[in-house]
Structure 1
C-alpha cells in the first residue's frame, strides 16, 4: 500500500459502464499523483470493503444511470456498505452522464452530508466522453482534492 507525503492514504474508487467514468478516475488519480501524493486506483469490483478504513481521503466515481441514480447492481450496494464508514473522511464525488441536469450528483452529495464525512467541493460531472478539456478538469480536480 502506498502512502502519500502526509501519511494520508487516498483511494479513487469507481464503477464505469463505458470507459467515461473510468477515464475520469484515471485522470483524477493522475492529478493526485502529480502533487507528489499517491492515489490507489480501484474499480469498485476489485476494492476490498474492509480496506475503506485504511483511507483518509476517498474519491468515488459513478455515472448517472436509470432515472439519474447511482448504478444499482454493483455501485449502490458497495456505497451502502461503506456509507457508515465514511465518517471523518474527506470525500470527493465524480461521474459522467448522458442526459439530465445532475440530480443524481446532488442526491449523492446529500447522502455524503449525512455520513459525517467532509465533502470536497461539488461533485465533478462530465457529459459523456471526457474530451481534452474534461480530462484536464479531472486532473485539476485530483490536484485540488489532494490538497483538501
Structure 2
C-alpha cells in the first residue's frame, strides 16, 4: 500500500487546516496516511514512506524554530546513517511535497518561497524527489492591520473552504499520479 506522512507545525491553525486537507486528499486516493504534528511527535523515519509532505508557515523567510529544529535533527540522523550522499542521488519511490502558509503583509508569496526552497533541500539531500511546493495565502492572526492593509489586501478568513477544497483535490490528484 502507498504510504504517506503529512508532517506539519502550526501556531495559529492555518498550516494545520492545510495539513488536514492534504491528508484527506491522499486518503481519498487510497493512501495510508500518518498525520504528524511536530509539536507532539518528532521520531519518524522518512524512509518508511513513499511520500513525505512537510507543511510549515513562513516566519521572516524561514520556517519557525520548532520545524527548523525537527528538520536539522532528522538531517543529522540521516548523515550519521550515511543517507546523505555526494550528488544527492534520487531514490526511486521516495517523493516529497512542501506546503507553506504565508500572510505576506509586505511582499506576499515572495516571503514564503525561501521557506519552501529551504525545506525542500533537506529532502533532496537524502534522495527524495521534490514533486511540488504549494504556497497558501493565509490570515495573519492577531493583527487586523496585517490582514487587511498589506499587499495581498483583505486576507481575513484565509485559507477559506474553497481554497482548502482545492488543496484536497490537488492532493488526491497527486497520489493518483504516484500510486
Q: TM-score normalised by the shorter chain: which range applies?
A: 0.7 to 0.9
SS of aligned partner of 2:64? coil
Q: CA deviation at 1:32?
A: 0.6
Q: Is the 8 A contact 1:62 1:75 kept in 2?
A: yes
Superposed, 1:45-60 pairs within 5 Å as: 45-60=39-54
Structure 1 pair 112/19, CA: closer, same or farther in 2 (3 Å)?
same
1:18 pairs with 1, 9, 12, which one? Answer: 12
Shift of 1:48: 4.3
Scaled by the length of structure 2, what TM-score is found?
Answer: 0.69
Please tell me whether the aligned partners of residues 24 and 95 of structure 1 are also in contact (alpha carbons under 8 angstroms).
no
Note if 1:143 corresponds to 2:172: yes
- How many residues matched? 139
Once the two structures are superposed, residues 18-52 of structure 1 have per-residue CA deviations (whole angstroms, 9 ceiling, x without a partner) of 11000000000000111122211110133342443
| Distance (Å, rounded) in 2 between the aligned partners of 1:51 and 1:111 | 14
Choose which of 83, 95, 114 in structure 2 pairs with 1:103.
114
State the distance in 2 between where 1:70 and 1:48 align: 16
Helix, strand or coil for the counterpart of 1:45? coil
Task: Say whether 1:127 aligns with 2:137.
Answer: yes
> Does structure 2 conserve the Cα–Cα contact (< 8 Å) formed by 1:28 and 1:138?
yes
Aligned pair in 2 of structure 1 residues 132, 44: CA closer, same or farther (>3 Å)?
Answer: same
> Gaps spanning 5+ residues in structure 1: where?
1-6
Aligned partners of 2:48 and 2:2: how far apart in 1?
A: 9
CA contact (8 A) 1:92 1:145 kept: no
CA spacing shift, 1:113–1:50, aligned 2, 3 Å: closer
Structure 2 unpaired stretches of 5+: 85-89, 139-157
- Higher alpha-carbon Rg: 2
TM-score (norm 1): 0.81
Flag the 1:145–1:79 CA change in 2: closer, same or farther, 3 A. farther
